[in-house]
Protein backbone atom coordinates (compact mmCIF):
# COMPACT_ATOMS: atom_id res chain seq x y z
CA UNK A 1 0.00 0.00 0.00
CA UNK A 2 2.89 2.33 0.96
CA UNK A 3 4.65 1.36 -2.22
CA UNK A 4 1.51 2.09 -4.11
CA UNK A 5 1.33 5.56 -2.52
CA UNK A 6 4.98 6.24 -3.38
CA UNK A 7 4.52 5.23 -6.96
CA UNK A 8 1.42 7.38 -7.12
CA UNK A 9 3.41 10.41 -5.89
CA UNK A 10 6.21 9.59 -8.29
CA UNK A 11 3.73 9.43 -11.10
CA UNK A 12 2.23 12.80 -10.08
CA UNK A 13 5.70 14.39 -10.02
CA UNK A 14 6.49 12.92 -13.41
CA UNK A 15 3.24 14.11 -14.85
CA UNK A 16 3.78 17.62 -13.44
CA UNK A 17 7.26 17.75 -14.93
CA UNK A 18 5.96 16.49 -18.26
CA UNK A 19 3.19 19.06 -18.33
CA UNK A 20 5.64 21.83 -17.38
CA UNK A 21 8.04 20.82 -20.15
CA UNK A 22 5.23 20.57 -22.63
CA UNK A 23 4.00 24.06 -21.76
CA UNK A 24 7.52 25.42 -22.02
CA UNK A 25 7.98 23.66 -25.35
CA UNK A 26 4.75 25.01 -26.75
CA UNK A 27 5.64 28.49 -25.45
CA UNK A 28 9.05 28.35 -27.16
CA UNK A 29 7.44 27.12 -30.36
CA UNK A 30 4.82 29.86 -30.37
CA UNK A 31 7.42 32.53 -29.62
CA UNK A 32 9.66 31.32 -32.39
CA UNK A 33 6.80 31.04 -34.83
CA UNK A 34 5.48 34.54 -34.05
CA UNK A 35 8.95 36.01 -34.31
CA UNK A 36 9.59 34.23 -37.56
CA UNK A 37 6.23 35.28 -38.90
CA UNK A 38 6.70 38.93 -37.94
CA UNK A 39 10.18 38.97 -39.38
CA UNK A 40 9.18 37.36 -42.62
CA UNK A 41 6.22 39.69 -42.99
CA UNK A 42 8.48 42.68 -42.40
CA UNK A 43 10.96 41.38 -44.96
CA UNK A 44 8.16 40.66 -47.38
CA UNK A 45 6.77 44.17 -46.93
CA UNK A 46 10.15 45.76 -47.39
CA UNK A 47 10.80 43.62 -50.42
CA UNK A 48 7.41 44.42 -51.92
CA UNK A 49 7.93 48.11 -51.20
CA UNK A 50 11.29 48.01 -52.92
CA UNK A 51 9.91 46.25 -55.97
CA UNK A 52 7.04 48.74 -56.21
CA UNK A 53 9.43 51.69 -55.97
CA UNK A 54 11.81 50.21 -58.52
CA UNK A 55 8.98 49.63 -60.97
CA UNK A 56 7.58 53.11 -60.51
CA UNK A 57 11.03 54.53 -61.05
CA UNK A 58 11.66 52.71 -64.29
CA UNK A 59 8.16 53.38 -65.59
CA UNK A 60 8.19 57.05 -64.55
CA UNK A 61 11.22 57.70 -66.62
CA UNK A 62 9.29 57.09 -69.78
CA UNK A 63 6.04 58.65 -68.61
CA UNK A 64 6.18 62.13 -70.10
CA UNK A 65 7.38 62.88 -73.55
CA UNK A 66 7.46 66.37 -75.06
CA UNK A 67 7.18 65.27 -78.70
CA UNK A 68 5.30 67.72 -80.80
CA UNK A 69 2.54 66.33 -82.94
CA UNK A 70 -0.31 68.62 -83.87
CA UNK A 71 -1.64 66.37 -86.58
CA UNK A 72 -3.31 63.53 -84.82
CA UNK A 73 -2.56 63.69 -81.13
CA UNK A 74 -5.38 61.33 -80.29
CA UNK A 75 -3.47 58.53 -81.97
CA UNK A 76 0.06 59.29 -80.89
CA UNK A 77 0.41 56.56 -78.29
CA UNK A 78 -0.22 53.69 -80.66
CA UNK A 79 2.63 54.58 -82.93
CA UNK A 80 5.17 56.29 -80.75
CA UNK A 81 8.18 54.32 -79.58
CA UNK A 82 8.88 54.77 -75.88
CA UNK A 83 11.71 57.14 -75.24
CA UNK A 84 14.10 56.63 -72.39
CA UNK A 85 15.07 59.55 -70.19
CA UNK A 86 17.87 59.26 -67.71
CA UNK A 87 17.83 61.32 -64.55
CA UNK A 88 21.20 62.93 -63.75
CA UNK A 89 23.16 61.08 -61.09
CA UNK A 90 23.32 64.25 -58.98
CA UNK A 91 19.66 63.82 -58.28
CA UNK A 92 20.23 60.68 -56.25
CA UNK A 93 21.86 62.61 -53.45
CA UNK A 94 19.02 65.06 -52.93
CA UNK A 95 15.62 64.91 -51.39
CA UNK A 96 12.57 66.62 -52.76
CA UNK A 97 11.64 67.66 -49.23
CA UNK A 98 14.04 70.51 -49.84
CA UNK A 99 11.42 72.04 -52.09
CA UNK A 100 9.53 73.14 -49.03
CA UNK A 101 12.52 74.77 -47.37
CA UNK A 102 13.17 78.32 -48.47
CA UNK A 103 15.65 81.06 -47.84
CA UNK A 104 15.11 83.29 -44.77
CA UNK A 105 12.42 85.94 -45.36
CA UNK A 106 14.92 88.78 -45.85
CA UNK A 107 16.65 86.95 -48.73
CA UNK A 108 13.51 86.10 -50.67
CA UNK A 109 12.37 87.81 -53.82
CA UNK A 110 9.25 90.02 -53.55
CA UNK A 111 7.27 87.31 -55.36
CA UNK A 112 8.42 84.67 -52.93
CA UNK A 113 7.56 86.94 -50.01
CA UNK A 114 4.09 87.53 -51.33
CA UNK A 115 3.63 83.81 -51.77
CA UNK A 116 4.92 83.12 -48.31
CA UNK A 117 2.59 85.73 -46.79
CA UNK A 118 -0.30 83.98 -48.39
CA UNK A 119 1.01 80.59 -47.36
CA UNK A 120 1.21 81.61 -43.76
CA UNK A 121 -2.40 82.74 -43.74
CA UNK A 122 -3.62 79.49 -45.35
CA UNK A 123 -5.14 76.88 -43.10
CA UNK A 124 -4.45 73.71 -45.09
CA UNK A 125 -1.56 72.46 -47.19
CA UNK A 126 -2.41 70.31 -50.21
CA UNK A 127 0.43 68.69 -52.16
CA UNK A 128 -0.11 68.20 -55.91
CA UNK A 129 2.15 65.66 -57.58
CA UNK A 130 1.97 65.87 -61.36
CA UNK A 131 2.67 62.50 -62.99
CA UNK A 132 0.82 63.29 -66.24
CA UNK A 133 1.17 66.22 -68.63
CA UNK A 134 -2.37 67.38 -67.78
CA UNK A 135 -0.87 68.41 -64.43
CA UNK A 136 0.71 71.39 -66.17
CA UNK A 137 -2.67 72.46 -67.53
CA UNK A 138 -4.08 72.18 -64.01
CA UNK A 139 -1.23 74.15 -62.43
CA UNK A 140 -0.38 76.79 -65.02
CA UNK A 141 -3.66 77.31 -66.88
CA UNK A 142 -6.35 76.63 -64.26
CA UNK A 143 -4.68 77.43 -60.95
CA UNK A 144 -2.41 80.00 -62.65
CA UNK A 145 0.47 78.97 -60.45
CA UNK A 146 4.10 79.75 -61.20
CA UNK A 147 6.63 77.00 -61.71
CA UNK A 148 10.34 77.01 -60.95
CA UNK A 149 12.77 74.45 -62.27
CA UNK A 150 14.82 72.64 -59.69
CA UNK A 151 18.02 70.73 -60.34
CA UNK A 152 18.25 71.72 -64.00
CA UNK A 153 14.68 70.71 -64.69
CA UNK A 154 14.74 67.24 -63.14
CA UNK A 155 11.67 68.47 -61.33
CA UNK A 156 9.73 71.71 -60.94
CA UNK A 157 8.08 73.31 -57.94
CA UNK A 158 5.40 75.92 -57.34
CA UNK A 159 3.24 77.23 -54.52
CA UNK A 160 -0.06 79.05 -54.57
CA UNK A 161 -2.78 79.74 -52.04
CA UNK A 162 -6.44 79.72 -52.96
CA UNK A 163 -9.13 80.20 -50.35
CA UNK A 164 -7.74 78.55 -47.21
CA UNK A 165 -5.64 76.01 -49.13
CA UNK A 166 -1.95 76.40 -49.84
CA UNK A 167 -1.13 74.23 -52.85
CA UNK A 168 2.38 72.86 -53.37
CA UNK A 169 2.96 71.49 -56.83
CA UNK A 170 5.75 69.13 -57.82
CA UNK A 171 6.21 67.67 -61.29
CA UNK A 172 8.83 66.25 -63.63
CA UNK A 173 10.75 62.99 -64.01
CA UNK A 174 12.43 63.62 -60.64
CA UNK A 175 9.13 63.19 -58.81
CA UNK A 176 9.61 59.55 -57.76
CA UNK A 177 8.24 57.73 -54.70
CA UNK A 178 11.55 57.72 -52.85
CA UNK A 179 11.83 61.54 -53.12
CA UNK A 180 8.34 62.81 -52.35
CA UNK A 181 7.75 64.37 -48.91
CA UNK A 182 6.74 61.60 -46.50
CA UNK A 183 5.11 64.14 -44.21
CA UNK A 184 2.33 64.78 -46.77
CA UNK A 185 -1.11 64.93 -45.18
CA UNK A 186 -3.31 66.02 -48.09
CA UNK A 187 -2.59 64.99 -51.63
CA UNK A 188 -3.92 65.59 -55.12
CA UNK A 189 -2.25 63.14 -57.51
CA UNK A 190 -2.32 63.82 -61.24
CA UNK A 191 -2.21 60.49 -63.06
CA UNK A 192 -2.34 59.09 -66.57
CA UNK A 193 -4.77 56.22 -67.17
CA UNK A 194 -4.82 56.42 -70.93
CA UNK A 195 -3.29 53.04 -71.72
CA UNK A 196 -2.10 49.89 -70.00
CA UNK A 197 1.51 50.94 -69.41
CA UNK A 198 0.42 54.28 -67.93
CA UNK A 199 -2.21 52.56 -65.78
CA UNK A 200 0.51 50.35 -64.27
CA UNK A 201 2.49 53.43 -63.19
CA UNK A 202 -0.64 55.06 -61.81
CA UNK A 203 -1.58 51.95 -59.83
CA UNK A 204 1.80 51.92 -58.18
CA UNK A 205 1.48 55.55 -57.16
CA UNK A 206 -1.87 54.72 -55.62
CA UNK A 207 -0.33 51.74 -53.82
CA UNK A 208 2.29 54.06 -52.39
CA UNK A 209 -0.40 56.04 -50.58
CA UNK A 210 -0.81 53.47 -47.78
CA UNK A 211 2.88 53.83 -46.96
CA UNK A 212 2.66 57.59 -46.31
CA UNK A 213 2.42 57.71 -42.52
CA UNK A 214 0.59 61.04 -42.18
CA UNK A 215 -1.74 60.93 -45.16
CA UNK A 216 -5.31 61.96 -44.28
CA UNK A 217 -6.79 62.88 -47.64
CA UNK A 218 -6.19 61.86 -51.23
CA UNK A 219 -7.80 62.82 -54.53
CA UNK A 220 -6.84 62.15 -58.15
CA UNK A 221 -6.94 64.12 -61.38
CA UNK A 222 -7.04 61.37 -63.98
CA UNK A 223 -6.46 61.44 -67.71
CA UNK A 224 -8.97 58.71 -68.42
CA UNK A 225 -9.07 56.15 -71.12
CA UNK A 226 -10.57 57.37 -74.41
CA UNK A 227 -12.99 54.45 -74.40
CA UNK A 228 -14.01 55.59 -70.88
CA UNK A 229 -13.04 52.33 -69.24
CA UNK A 230 -11.51 53.40 -65.94
CA UNK A 231 -12.66 50.46 -63.86
CA UNK A 232 -9.08 49.84 -62.68
CA UNK A 233 -9.27 52.80 -60.30
CA UNK A 234 -12.44 51.69 -58.52
CA UNK A 235 -10.69 49.52 -55.87
CA UNK A 236 -8.63 52.57 -54.80
CA UNK A 237 -11.72 54.69 -54.12
CA UNK A 238 -12.64 55.47 -50.52
CA UNK A 239 -16.18 54.22 -50.98
CA UNK A 240 -14.68 50.85 -51.92
CA UNK A 241 -12.29 50.77 -48.96
CA UNK A 242 -9.39 52.61 -50.61
CA UNK A 243 -7.91 56.04 -49.87
CA UNK A 244 -9.02 58.16 -52.85
CA UNK A 245 -11.96 60.33 -51.86
CA UNK A 246 -12.67 61.93 -55.20
CA UNK A 247 -11.53 61.70 -58.83
CA UNK A 248 -11.51 64.53 -61.37
CA UNK A 249 -11.85 62.56 -64.58
CA UNK A 250 -11.04 63.60 -68.14
CA UNK A 251 -13.57 62.47 -70.80
CA UNK A 252 -17.28 62.31 -70.30
CA UNK A 253 -18.15 58.95 -68.79
CA UNK A 254 -20.95 57.15 -66.93
CA UNK A 255 -18.71 57.26 -63.84
CA UNK A 256 -19.34 61.00 -63.46
CA UNK A 257 -21.75 61.26 -60.51
CA UNK A 258 -20.60 64.58 -58.98
CA UNK A 259 -20.02 62.73 -55.71
CA UNK A 260 -17.02 60.48 -56.27
CA UNK A 261 -16.27 61.38 -59.89
CA UNK A 262 -16.31 64.89 -61.33
CA UNK A 263 -15.65 65.65 -64.95
CA UNK A 264 -12.40 67.48 -65.64
CA UNK A 265 -11.46 69.23 -68.92
CA UNK A 266 -8.76 67.78 -71.17
CA UNK A 267 -7.30 71.24 -71.77
CA UNK A 268 -4.58 72.20 -74.22
CA UNK A 269 -1.70 69.85 -75.09
CA UNK A 270 0.93 71.01 -72.63
CA UNK A 271 2.92 67.85 -73.44
CA UNK A 272 3.81 69.42 -76.76
CA UNK A 273 4.30 72.87 -75.26
CA UNK A 274 1.13 74.50 -76.50
CA UNK A 275 1.41 78.02 -75.05
CA UNK A 276 -0.56 79.43 -72.12
CA UNK A 277 -2.21 82.32 -73.96
CA UNK A 278 -3.43 85.27 -71.91
CA UNK A 279 -6.92 86.34 -72.98
CA UNK A 280 -5.67 89.92 -73.30
CA UNK A 281 -3.14 88.76 -75.92
CA UNK A 282 -5.79 87.34 -78.26
CA UNK A 283 -6.55 89.44 -81.31
CA UNK A 284 -10.24 90.20 -80.91
CA UNK A 285 -10.75 93.17 -83.21
CA UNK A 286 -8.83 92.20 -86.30
CA UNK A 287 -10.53 90.47 -89.17
CA UNK A 288 -9.17 86.93 -89.51
CA UNK A 289 -7.52 85.67 -92.64
CA UNK A 290 -9.29 82.30 -92.76
CA UNK A 291 -12.96 81.49 -92.38
CA UNK A 292 -12.07 78.04 -91.06
CA UNK A 293 -9.19 75.62 -90.70
CA UNK A 294 -8.77 71.93 -90.74
CA UNK A 295 -5.41 70.47 -89.70
CA UNK A 296 -5.00 66.85 -88.95
CA UNK A 297 -4.27 63.33 -89.92
CA UNK A 298 -6.98 61.87 -92.11
CA UNK A 299 -7.62 58.23 -91.39
CA UNK A 300 -9.26 56.05 -93.99
CA UNK A 301 -12.98 55.66 -93.55
CA UNK A 302 -13.12 58.18 -90.69
CA UNK A 303 -15.46 61.13 -90.34
CA UNK A 304 -12.38 63.25 -91.06
CA UNK A 305 -12.41 61.88 -94.58
CA UNK A 306 -16.09 62.81 -94.93
CA UNK A 307 -15.40 66.31 -93.63
CA UNK A 308 -12.49 66.82 -95.99
CA UNK A 309 -14.47 65.60 -98.98
CA UNK A 310 -17.34 67.87 -98.02
CA UNK A 311 -15.12 70.94 -97.61
CA UNK A 312 -13.33 70.16 -100.84
CA UNK A 313 -16.59 70.11 -102.70
CA UNK A 314 -17.94 73.31 -101.14
CA UNK A 315 -17.98 76.71 -102.85
CA UNK A 316 -16.20 78.13 -99.76
CA UNK A 317 -13.13 75.88 -100.02
CA UNK A 318 -10.83 78.79 -100.79
CA UNK A 319 -11.84 80.73 -97.68
CA UNK A 320 -10.25 78.21 -95.31
CA UNK A 321 -6.89 76.74 -94.47
CA UNK A 322 -6.76 73.00 -95.07
CA UNK A 323 -3.74 70.88 -94.38
CA UNK A 324 -4.61 67.22 -94.28
CA UNK A 325 -2.06 64.54 -93.60
CA UNK A 326 -2.27 60.95 -94.63
CA UNK A 327 0.51 59.81 -92.37
CA UNK A 328 1.16 60.45 -88.75
CA UNK A 329 4.56 62.05 -88.21
CA UNK A 330 6.40 60.95 -85.07
CA UNK A 331 8.10 64.23 -84.26
CA UNK A 332 6.97 67.54 -85.59
CA UNK A 333 9.18 70.58 -85.55
CA UNK A 334 9.06 73.89 -83.71
CA UNK A 335 8.08 75.31 -87.08
CA UNK A 336 4.95 73.22 -87.38
CA UNK A 337 3.86 74.27 -83.89
CA UNK A 338 4.28 77.89 -84.92
CA UNK A 339 2.24 77.27 -88.04
CA UNK A 340 -0.47 75.51 -86.07
CA UNK A 341 -0.77 78.37 -83.54
CA UNK A 342 -0.70 80.93 -86.36
CA UNK A 343 -3.44 79.20 -88.33
CA UNK A 344 -5.72 78.84 -85.31
CA UNK A 345 -5.15 82.49 -84.34
CA UNK A 346 -6.09 83.54 -87.88
CA UNK A 347 -9.24 81.44 -88.27
CA UNK A 348 -12.84 82.21 -87.39
CA UNK A 349 -13.64 78.51 -87.03
CA UNK A 350 -11.60 75.41 -86.20
CA UNK A 351 -12.99 72.05 -87.21
CA UNK A 352 -12.84 69.23 -84.66
CA UNK A 353 -13.87 65.91 -86.15
CA UNK A 354 -13.91 63.04 -83.63
CA UNK A 355 -10.80 60.96 -82.99
CA UNK A 356 -10.59 58.14 -80.46
CA UNK A 357 -12.78 60.38 -78.29
CA UNK A 358 -15.01 63.33 -79.07
CA UNK A 359 -13.08 65.63 -76.73
CA UNK A 360 -9.69 66.68 -78.08
CA UNK A 361 -6.96 69.18 -77.20
CA UNK A 362 -7.73 71.24 -80.29
CA UNK A 363 -11.11 72.32 -78.88
CA UNK A 364 -9.37 74.06 -75.94
CA UNK A 365 -6.49 75.27 -78.10
CA UNK A 366 -8.91 76.93 -80.52
CA UNK A 367 -10.87 78.56 -77.68
CA UNK A 368 -7.71 79.92 -76.09
CA UNK A 369 -6.88 81.63 -79.42
CA UNK A 370 -10.38 82.97 -80.08
CA UNK A 371 -11.27 80.57 -82.89
CA UNK A 372 -14.73 79.03 -82.51
CA UNK A 373 -14.51 75.22 -82.32
CA UNK A 374 -16.88 73.36 -84.63
CA UNK A 375 -17.19 70.06 -82.80
CA UNK A 376 -18.49 66.79 -84.12
CA UNK A 377 -20.96 65.92 -81.35
CA UNK A 378 -20.97 62.16 -81.77
CA UNK A 379 -20.27 59.38 -79.25
CA UNK A 380 -17.12 57.41 -79.98
CA UNK A 381 -16.78 53.64 -79.45
CA UNK A 382 -16.46 52.53 -75.83
CA UNK A 383 -18.33 53.03 -72.61
CA UNK A 384 -18.58 56.82 -72.72
CA UNK A 385 -22.31 57.30 -72.80
CA UNK A 386 -23.89 58.67 -69.63
CA UNK A 387 -26.27 56.33 -67.88
CA UNK A 388 -29.76 56.78 -69.17
CA UNK A 389 -31.94 58.45 -66.58
CA UNK A 390 -29.17 60.75 -65.38
CA UNK A 391 -31.72 63.49 -65.39
CA UNK A 392 -29.57 66.22 -63.86
CA UNK A 393 -27.01 65.91 -66.63
CA UNK A 394 -27.06 66.86 -70.25
CA UNK A 395 -26.37 64.29 -72.90
CA UNK A 396 -22.86 62.98 -73.45
CA UNK A 397 -20.43 63.48 -74.96
CA UNK A 398 -18.93 66.81 -73.77
CA UNK A 399 -21.34 67.25 -70.87
CA UNK A 400 -18.94 69.66 -69.19
CA UNK A 401 -18.87 72.08 -72.12
CA UNK A 402 -22.65 71.77 -72.44
CA UNK A 403 -23.21 72.28 -68.72
CA UNK A 404 -21.28 75.57 -68.85
CA UNK A 405 -22.85 76.64 -72.15
CA UNK A 406 -19.63 76.85 -74.13
CA UNK A 407 -20.16 79.17 -77.13
CA UNK A 408 -19.07 76.51 -79.63
CA UNK A 409 -20.81 74.99 -82.66
CA UNK A 410 -21.93 71.36 -82.53
CA UNK A 411 -22.33 69.32 -85.70
CA UNK A 412 -23.92 65.87 -85.85
CA UNK A 413 -23.35 65.06 -89.50
CA UNK A 414 -20.76 66.83 -91.61
CA UNK A 415 -22.41 65.79 -94.86
CA UNK A 416 -25.73 67.34 -93.94
CA UNK A 417 -24.59 70.44 -92.11
CA UNK A 418 -21.35 71.78 -93.54
CA UNK A 419 -22.77 73.62 -96.54
CA UNK A 420 -25.36 75.50 -94.54
CA UNK A 421 -22.81 76.23 -91.81
CA UNK A 422 -20.23 77.69 -94.18
CA UNK A 423 -22.88 79.66 -96.01
CA UNK A 424 -24.07 81.21 -92.73
CA UNK A 425 -20.48 81.95 -91.71
CA UNK A 426 -19.65 83.67 -94.97
CA UNK A 427 -22.53 86.08 -94.52
CA UNK A 428 -21.76 87.15 -90.92
CA UNK A 429 -20.75 90.79 -90.48
CA UNK A 430 -17.37 91.80 -89.08
CA UNK A 431 -19.07 93.13 -85.98
CA UNK A 432 -20.87 89.85 -85.38
CA UNK A 433 -17.59 87.96 -85.73
CA UNK A 434 -15.82 90.32 -83.38
CA UNK A 435 -18.54 90.00 -80.74
CA UNK A 436 -18.41 86.24 -81.05
CA UNK A 437 -14.63 86.14 -80.58
CA UNK A 438 -14.94 88.34 -77.53
CA UNK A 439 -17.63 86.13 -76.03
CA UNK A 440 -15.56 83.01 -76.69
CA UNK A 441 -12.33 84.31 -75.16
CA UNK A 442 -14.17 85.63 -72.10
CA UNK A 443 -16.10 82.42 -71.72
CA UNK A 444 -12.94 80.29 -71.86
CA UNK A 445 -11.20 82.45 -69.32
CA UNK A 446 -14.25 82.28 -67.03
CA UNK A 447 -14.51 78.54 -67.54
CA UNK A 448 -10.97 77.98 -66.27
CA UNK A 449 -11.78 80.10 -63.23
CA UNK A 450 -14.94 78.14 -62.54
CA UNK A 451 -13.04 74.86 -62.84
CA UNK A 452 -10.50 76.22 -60.36
CA UNK A 453 -13.17 77.31 -57.89
CA UNK A 454 -15.00 74.03 -58.25
CA UNK A 455 -11.81 72.08 -57.58
CA UNK A 456 -11.03 74.15 -54.48
CA UNK A 457 -14.58 73.88 -53.14
CA UNK A 458 -14.73 70.13 -53.68
CA UNK A 459 -11.36 69.67 -51.95
CA UNK A 460 -12.48 71.89 -49.07
CA UNK A 461 -15.67 69.94 -48.58
CA UNK A 462 -14.29 66.42 -49.07
CA UNK A 463 -10.96 66.94 -47.28
CA UNK A 464 -11.60 69.45 -44.55
CA UNK A 465 -15.19 69.23 -43.37
CA UNK A 466 -16.45 66.23 -41.42
CA UNK A 467 -18.66 64.72 -44.05
CA UNK A 468 -22.22 64.26 -42.90
CA UNK A 469 -24.20 63.61 -46.02
C1 LIG B 1 4.09 90.32 -45.93
O2 LIG B 1 3.76 90.45 -44.58
C3 LIG B 1 4.55 91.43 -43.88
C4 LIG B 1 4.16 91.43 -42.43
O5 LIG B 1 3.64 90.20 -42.03
C6 LIG B 1 4.33 92.82 -44.51
O7 LIG B 1 5.16 93.77 -43.88
C8 LIG B 1 4.67 92.74 -45.98
O9 LIG B 1 4.36 93.99 -46.61
C10 LIG B 1 3.88 91.63 -46.66
N11 LIG B 1 4.31 91.54 -48.03
C12 LIG B 1 3.49 91.44 -49.08
C13 LIG B 1 4.12 91.38 -50.41
O14 LIG B 1 2.27 91.40 -48.95
C1 LIG C 1 -12.31 47.53 -69.00
O2 LIG C 1 -10.95 47.35 -68.62
C3 LIG C 1 -10.72 46.20 -67.83
C4 LIG C 1 -9.27 46.18 -67.49
O5 LIG C 1 -8.90 47.32 -66.77
C6 LIG C 1 -11.12 44.95 -68.59
O7 LIG C 1 -10.94 43.82 -67.78
C8 LIG C 1 -12.57 45.06 -69.00
O9 LIG C 1 -12.91 43.96 -69.81
C10 LIG C 1 -12.81 46.34 -69.78
N11 LIG C 1 -14.23 46.47 -70.07
C12 LIG C 1 -14.69 46.76 -71.27
C13 LIG C 1 -16.17 46.78 -71.40
O14 LIG C 1 -13.97 46.97 -72.22
C1 LIG D 1 -16.01 51.87 -93.25
O2 LIG D 1 -17.04 52.24 -92.33
C3 LIG D 1 -18.25 51.55 -92.53
C4 LIG D 1 -19.30 52.08 -91.56
O5 LIG D 1 -18.84 53.15 -90.80
C6 LIG D 1 -18.02 50.06 -92.33
O7 LIG D 1 -19.21 49.37 -92.57
C8 LIG D 1 -16.93 49.59 -93.29
O9 LIG D 1 -16.63 48.24 -93.06
C10 LIG D 1 -15.68 50.42 -93.14
N11 LIG D 1 -14.69 50.03 -94.14
C12 LIG D 1 -13.40 49.87 -93.88
C13 LIG D 1 -12.53 49.50 -95.04
O14 LIG D 1 -12.95 50.01 -92.75
C1 LIG E 1 -10.67 67.87 -104.09
O2 LIG E 1 -11.38 67.93 -105.33
C3 LIG E 1 -10.58 67.88 -106.50
C4 LIG E 1 -11.45 68.00 -107.70
O5 LIG E 1 -12.39 69.01 -107.55
C6 LIG E 1 -9.79 66.58 -106.51
O7 LIG E 1 -8.92 66.58 -107.60
C8 LIG E 1 -8.99 66.44 -105.22
O9 LIG E 1 -8.36 65.20 -105.17
C10 LIG E 1 -9.90 66.58 -104.03
N11 LIG E 1 -9.09 66.52 -102.81
C12 LIG E 1 -9.41 65.82 -101.75
C13 LIG E 1 -8.45 65.89 -100.63
O14 LIG E 1 -10.40 65.14 -101.70
C1 LIG F 1 -20.29 68.20 -104.88
O2 LIG F 1 -21.14 69.31 -105.03
C3 LIG F 1 -22.02 69.22 -106.13
C4 LIG F 1 -22.83 70.50 -106.21
O5 LIG F 1 -22.14 71.59 -105.71
C6 LIG F 1 -22.91 68.02 -106.00
O7 LIG F 1 -23.70 67.89 -107.14
C8 LIG F 1 -22.06 66.77 -105.85
O9 LIG F 1 -22.89 65.64 -105.61
C10 LIG F 1 -21.11 66.93 -104.68
N11 LIG F 1 -20.24 65.77 -104.58
C12 LIG F 1 -20.00 65.15 -103.46
C13 LIG F 1 -19.05 64.00 -103.53
O14 LIG F 1 -20.51 65.48 -102.39
C1 LIG G 1 -25.03 61.80 -92.67
O2 LIG G 1 -25.93 62.27 -93.64
C3 LIG G 1 -25.79 61.61 -94.90
C4 LIG G 1 -26.69 62.32 -95.89
O5 LIG G 1 -27.95 62.59 -95.34
C6 LIG G 1 -26.11 60.14 -94.73
O7 LIG G 1 -25.97 59.46 -95.95
C8 LIG G 1 -25.15 59.53 -93.70
O9 LIG G 1 -25.47 58.19 -93.43
C10 LIG G 1 -25.20 60.32 -92.41
N11 LIG G 1 -24.12 59.85 -91.57
C12 LIG G 1 -24.32 59.42 -90.35
C13 LIG G 1 -23.12 58.96 -89.62
O14 LIG G 1 -25.43 59.40 -89.84
**The pTM is what?**
0.77
How far from 386 is each of 263, 266, 392, CA to CA, in Å?
A: 12, 18, 11
Cβ neighbours of residue 30 closer than 8 Å, sequence gap 6 or more = none
Measuring from atom 1 of ligand 4, which residue has the nearest CA? 312
The ligand minimizing its distance to the Cα of 298 is 4
Closest listed residue to residue 264, CA positions, set 251, 245, 246: 251
DSSP 8-state secondary structure symbol assigned to residue 384? -
Give the number of the atom of ligand 1 that is nearest the alpha carbon of residue 117.
1
Confidence of residue 301 (pLDDT cuts 50, 70, 90): confident
Q: What is the pLDDT of residues 138-193, one digit of tens each?
A: 999 999 999 999 988 899 999 999 999 999 999 999 999 998 999 999 999 999 99
Measuring from atom 9 of ligand 5, which residue has the nearest CA? 313
Cβ neighbours of residue 355 closer than 8 Å, sequence gap 6 or more = 72, 73, 74, 75, 226, 380
Ligand 2 centroid distance, CA of 72 (Å): 25
> Does residue 413 line the site of ligand 6, with CB under 6 A?
yes
> Does residue 413 line the site of ligand 2, with CB under 6 A?
no
Torsion of CA 319, 325, 331, 337, to 10 degrees: 0
Three-state secondary-structure class, residue 278: coil
DSSP 8-state secondary structure symbol assigned to residue 138? I
Q: Do the beta carbons of residue 44 and residue 38 sit within 8 Å?
A: no
Average confidence score pLDDT of the chain: 82
pLDDT at 121: 60
Q: What is the pLDDT of residues 72-118, one digit of tens each?
A: 444 344 333 333 344 444 444 345 554 444 444 455 555 555 555 55
Give the number of the atom of ligand 1 that is nearest the alpha carbon of residue 114.
13
Q: What is the pLDDT of residues 28-70, one digit of tens each?
A: 776 666 666 666 666 666 666 666 656 555 544 333 333 334 4
- Determine the Cα–Cα distance for residues 277 and 262; give it in Å rounded to an integer: 26
pLDDT at 441: 98
| pLDDT, average across residues 107-134 | 72
CA-CA-CA-CA torsion sign (88, 94, 97, 103): negative
pLDDT at 431: 96
Measuring from atom 7 of ligand 5, which residue has the nearest CA? 313
Measuring from atom 1 of ligand 6, which residue has the nearest CA? 413
Judged against a pLDDT cut of 90, whether residue 3 lies above it is answered with no
- Determine the Cα–Cα distance for residues 156 and 391; give it in Å rounded to an integer: 42
Judged against a pLDDT cut of 70, whether residue 244 lies above it is answered with yes
- Determine the Cα–Cα distance for residues 127 and 168; give it in Å rounded to an integer: 5
- Determine the Cα–Cα distance for residues 147 and 131; give it in Å rounded to an integer: 15
- Pairing assessment for the beta strands 155-162 and 290-297 based on DSSP bridges: unpaired
- Determine the Cα–Cα distance for residues 133 and 434; give it in Å rounded to an integer: 33
Residue 375 phi/psi, 5-degree rounding, is -110, 130
- Determine the Cα–Cα distance for residues 228 and 383; give it in Å rounded to an integer: 5
> Does residue 94 line the site of ligand 2, with CB under 6 A?
no
Amino acid sequence: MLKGHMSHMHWQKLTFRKVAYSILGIYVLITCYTGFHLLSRKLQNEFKQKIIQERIKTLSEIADDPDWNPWGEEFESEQRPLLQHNAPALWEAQQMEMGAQRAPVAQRSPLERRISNRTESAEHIVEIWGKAAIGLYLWEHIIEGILEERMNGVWSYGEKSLSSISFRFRTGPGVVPSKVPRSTENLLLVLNGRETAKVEVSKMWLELLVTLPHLHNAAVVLLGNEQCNNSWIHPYMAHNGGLVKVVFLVYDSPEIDNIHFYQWPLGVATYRSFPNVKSSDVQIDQRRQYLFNFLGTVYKNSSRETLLRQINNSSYTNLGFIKPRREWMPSETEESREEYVQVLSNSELTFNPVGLNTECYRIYEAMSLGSVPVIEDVLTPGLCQARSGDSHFLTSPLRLLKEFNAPVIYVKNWTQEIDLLLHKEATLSDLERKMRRKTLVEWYSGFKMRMRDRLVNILLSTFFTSSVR
